[in-house]
Structure 1
Amino acid sequence: MKATYSPLLAMLFVVGALTGCGDSGSKDKTPADPGSYSENSENEQASEQPTTYAVTLAATDGGVLSLTGTQTVEEGTGFSVSITPDTGYRIESASGCGGLLTDNTFTVDAITADCAIHATFARLEYIVSINASGNGTVTPDTAQTVLHGDNLTLTVAPDSGYYASAITGCEGTRTGNDYITNITADCTIDVIFNEQGQLNDTGITLCGNYDAEDEAQWSSTFNCTDTGATHTADGIDADGNLIPSGQDAHYGRDPQAANGQLAKTGAGDAGFDFTKLDASGNDLPESATEWSCVRDNVTGLIWEVKTPSDGNVGDSLHDADDRYNWYDTDSSTNGGSVGYADDDGAICYGYDNANSTTHCNTEAFVDRVNAAGLCGANDWRMPKKEELRSIVHYGRANPGIEIGYFPNTISTWYWSGSPNARRNSHSWIMNFYTGGDGNFSRDADFRVRVVRSAHN
């Protein structure tokens, strides 16, 4: 019998086949594709990652933060940063992210969003107190508030006949009557005005037995206190010689200094009070090893300092070896005679016979010093006899001067600018070997130390 094709049977067969492929009969529910498991696990892990936020940190000039730039912080996590001001600055403010500043630490309890922390710094302020005593004024004259690192300039104006003998404090520098200081802390500036023309003491701090009968026992080197000599009572030396009372060492500034009772602006032996000045006229500390001028804080006079002697003239404008003839063309100061413009030729620095401005006379030398602007000034002059005597140290000899401030002083005669009243061809001279004075013909060649007055 011939087989007959039936569409209905074919359809049933396909359905049966599909049904069998869909159910293998296994209870294992694990997916056949391992890849589908890995993908699901990574998605679950990703959903568990914590939320983070960006914290941006910034600060103005004047300090630093312990963290900089942008920091990543988990949600809900606390955060802190240290804030350190530079020297001379303070923390002015710190803000952002809802945090608080305690001392130098800025703290946020919990970060909940992107945010920024910003710190600002400000310079410290200092109080500069100003004290002035004596006859004169200062500007400013009251306490000043000054920012760290700023300069303060104090200008002094002495009354007529007075000078600013001392301007000290705040580590400033004096130029003339201006005092400039860079402020880095609270401090005080003190100004003292003294009368011009005060006299120095002699420098003598020891007593003598000048009444001793035996000349071999004569001495002027006794400690007055050790011998019992006072203002009113005589003393006795070891040989039984009388030490008379009321000697020079008992009076004036010298015994005050010896007893620690004398306040000084600068320093110096016995009652002397000197300040070293640099080439611009600024005050230097006592320890300075190089200086160009010296201010006498008692008399208010400023003196030239000589350069070292080597036995030869002409090494420099201020050579200690140079000598000069006395010459003054000003009829109001020369005593009726001009003196000698060029009597001894090349005895000083820069001499040229054909050029009168280089001649070795006192007037030409003063003009050259002023042209050079020694210590920032151009009002140098010849000293009067008593002014020159004011720096003689009678407690010393060879040389008779405070060598700690006037080095390179030759133990010989120095011209003053004072003419001799009785002989107008002579002028007064001062000897810096023992401190004696005399007068001599103006054609002689002696050394010179010029002087000027402190600013009025």
Structure 2
Amino acid sequence: MICSIEIRVVRQINPFGGHPIRLFAASKSKNREIVVIQLKINHAKVLISTLLVTALIGCGGGESGGDDSGQNSGEPQVGQRVVVRTETSVGGAVIPESASVELGKKTVFTVLPDAGFKVDTVVGCDSAIEGYSITILNVTQACTVNVTFSQLPAVTDVRLSKGPSSLLLDWPAVEGATSYHVYYAREPGIEPDSYASKADGTWLQNVQPPIRISNLTPHVWHVVVTAVHPEGESAPSGEINAFAATQPLNDTGIDWCANAVYTTSEGPVPEGGIPSNDLDCSVAQDPQGIALPDGQDGHFGRDAQALAAKLPKVGDGDGGFDFTKLDANGDELAASARNWSCVRDNVTGLIWEVKQPAGWNGLRDATYSYTWYNPDNSTNGGNAGKQSRSNCGSSKCNTQAFVNAVNNQGFCGASDWRLPSVNELLSIVHSGRTLPAIEQSYFPHTPTHYSPLGAYWSSSPYANASGEAWVVTFGLGKVFSGSKEHSALVRLVRAGQ
């Protein structure tokens, strides 16, 4: 007789490598008929043959009319059938789950590990496994095959470092792995079987660490890594993310040019000319007919590209600057947002603290100042500075205490804030303006002093005097050294996502 075969949908590791596949079986068949299912898996076609045996239970008995239970008394009868069952642990399935088999005959089951799992043990019924097929050559009685699965060793501790428009990944070798797959995209939630649905989702196959992902656009990129074993692909590593910056330094902000006039004791040269700045760099002469020298700052770089409307940006900002506002959780905001806590520099990848107004009386008041303190002899230039107070509820504590207080708050969703180096501070100086020399639409409440009163501490000690460190004043965008015992302002930074 003919019975309907159970329809099953099973998630399965592709035994030929690649991504998990899904098997769909739907058919009617005579007992013991071989059904061949053809699947398209990525770029290869794989034939998987599965022996689908119709259970006679509920079908009114077999063609022999025997009892399927295998409990008949006396000697086995010709054509007598028994039920062979399977039991599985977490991590996979077996199809069919049971089969009605004539005594003395052969039966075959197909084992289907879940993604990230492998077959561990197969016990019972004198069964043997080869590849993904469990075979019982001679069924002698009703019995049960027990199949257990275990997780494939996966990648842990993925380390990431950033370069211009690139990310460098490295991780410890995984025992038994022959290679690795890397998946990355501009959206979170990456899985090996769904990465292609993410923005710019990409799959790097069969690589070895370390590996550099290059030519990335300036965005936050999300990455997972899997280990490839002979038995299949492991579960993905924990997802990591980082912002791929285009270059290590910003442009100056100067998108204007000057004429060739300069003044001597005898008068201006050329004679009768008037020194003039803030001229359009695209013209050859100023309104006086005096030539604009070639090779000026305003002729080159991101600022010149922005002035010519040829500079694509992730966010917004004056000239070549490209900033994005972030909320208290570190999530992106529109450029028009009126309340924001941090700013990401889309050129350098750095994320900056935004100060609160003077008189705000909170931890990040723009007018609070701090003594320089770093007890680490390997980075303090031979002088730890002045510890001052360690309570940063108000002004006059030290830089280390302030960093710790901000990190304890999880400011902007992060706890790796630090004092910036002098070069990092200089990267946000806007040399095309003064008082203050910074993009105020992104860094409000910056003092306009051009004296040390408006200076910000850097983490960089001054090599010529161990008791001093470099400071940057945003009144005129200047850099000089200052005594570690004196107080100065602080704007914290972190390396970015």
So what's the TM-score if we normalise by structure 2?
0.51
Cα offsets for 1:160-193 (capped at 9, x unmatched): 79897644xxxxxx7x959xxxxxxxxxxxx996
Question: Of 372, 387, 393, which aligns to 1:350?
Answer: 393
SS in 1 for 2:472: strand
Q: 1:373 to 1:154 in 2, by over 3 A?
A: farther
Structure whose CA Rg is larger? 1
Aligned residue identity for 1:328: N
Aligned residue identity for 1:424: S
The share of aligned pairs that are identical, in percent, is 43
Q: Does 1:290 align with 2:327?
A: no
Q: Which residue of 1 aligns with 2:280?
A: 223
**Alpha-carbon separation, structure 1, partners of 2:211 and 2:442:** 28
Q: Which residue of 1 aligns with 2:408?
A: 371
Question: Of 374, 390, 393, which aligns to 1:328?
Answer: 374
Question: Of 387, 395, 398, which aligns to 2:435?
Answer: 398
SS in 2 for 1:303: strand
Does the 8 Å contact 1:393/1:402 carry over to 2?
A: yes
Q: Does 1:265 align with 2:307?
A: no
Deviation of the 1:211 alpha carbon? 3.1
SS in 2 for 1:368: helix
Aligned residue identity for 2:472: M
**Alpha-carbon separation, structure 1, partners of 2:293 and 2:357:** 41
Question: Of 373, 380, 383, which aligns to 2:420?
Answer: 383
Does the 8 Å contact 1:162/1:193 carry over to 2?
A: no
**Alpha-carbon separation, structure 2, partners of 1:285 and 1:252:** 26
Q: 1:193 to 1:448 in 2, by over 3 A?
A: closer
SS in 2 for 1:321: coil
Cα offsets for 1:233-286 (capped at 9, x unmatched): xxx322343421110001111111111211111111101111111100111111
Does the 8 Å contact 1:279/1:376 carry over to 2?
A: yes
Question: Of 249, 252, 257, which aligns to 1:207?
Answer: 257
Deviation of the 1:141 alpha carbon? 7.2
Cα offsets for 1:296-321 (capped at 9, x unmatched): 11111110000112xx4x71111101
Q: 1:237 to 1:197 in 2, by over 3 A?
A: closer
Question: Of 458, 462, 468, which aligns to 1:420?
Answer: 462
SS in 1 for 2:446: coil
Aligned residue identity for 1:200: N
Q: Which structure shows the higher helix fraction?
A: 1
Does the 8 Å contact 1:381/1:451 carry over to 2?
A: yes
Deviation of the 1:376 alpha carbon? 0.6
Cα offsets for 1:311-337 (capped at 9, x unmatched): x4x711111010111111111211110
**Alpha-carbon separation, structure 1, partners of 2:384 and 2:398:** 11
**Alpha-carbon separation, structure 1, partners of 2:193 and 2:430:** 40
Q: 1:192 to 1:306 in 2, by over 3 A?
A: closer
Q: Does 1:318 align with 2:375?
A: no
Q: 1:144 to 1:413 in 2, by over 3 A?
A: closer
**Alpha-carbon separation, structure 1, partners of 2:281 and 2:343:** 31
- Would you say how many aligned residue pairs link Structure 1 and Structure 2? 281
Deviation of the 1:396 alpha carbon? 0.9
**Alpha-carbon separation, structure 2, partners of 1:159 and 1:389:** 31
Cα offsets for 1:349-400 (capped at 9, x unmatched): 524xxxxxx9611111111110111101010100000000000000111110
Q: 1:446 to 1:246 in 2, by over 3 A?
A: same
List alignment gaps of at least 5 residues for structure 2: 1-164, 169-182, 185-189, 205-209, 224-240, 449-453
Does the 8 Å contact 2:253/2:318 carry over to 1?
A: yes
Q: Which residue of 2 aligns with 1:254?
A: 303
Does the 8 Å contact 1:165/1:297 carry over to 2?
A: no
Q: 1:153 to 1:318 in 2, by over 3 A?
A: farther
Q: Does 1:446 align with 2:488?
A: yes
SS in 1 for 2:313: coil
Alignment of 1:56-95 (within 5 A): none
Q: Does 1:304 align with 2:353?
A: yes
Q: Which residue of 2 aligns with 1:435?
A: 477
Q: 1:218 to 1:386 in 2, by over 3 A?
A: same
**Alpha-carbon separation, structure 1, partners of 2:412 and 2:217:** 17
SS in 2 for 1:224: coil
SS in 2 for 1:306: coil
**Alpha-carbon separation, structure 1, partners of 2:352 and 2:216:** 16
Question: Of 378, 385, 396, which aligns to 1:339?
Answer: 385
**Alpha-carbon separation, structure 1, partners of 2:469 and 2:214:** 29
Aligned residue identity for 2:404: D
Does the 8 Å contact 1:294/1:304 carry over to 2?
A: yes
Does the 8 Å contact 2:255/2:298 carry over to 1?
A: yes
Does the 8 Å contact 1:165/1:265 carry over to 2?
A: no
Does the 8 Å contact 2:355/2:364 carry over to 1?
A: yes
SS in 1 for 2:303: helix
Aligned residue identity for 1:303: W
Deviation of the 1:209 alpha carbon? 2.4
Q: 1:370 to 1:156 in 2, by over 3 A?
A: farther
**Alpha-carbon separation, structure 1, partners of 2:213 and 2:354:** 25
Q: Does 1:244 align with 2:293?
A: yes
Q: Does 1:277 align with 2:322?
A: no
Does the 8 Å contact 1:164/1:192 carry over to 2?
A: no
Q: Does 1:198 align with 2:235?
A: no
Does the 8 Å contact 1:161/1:196 carry over to 2?
A: no
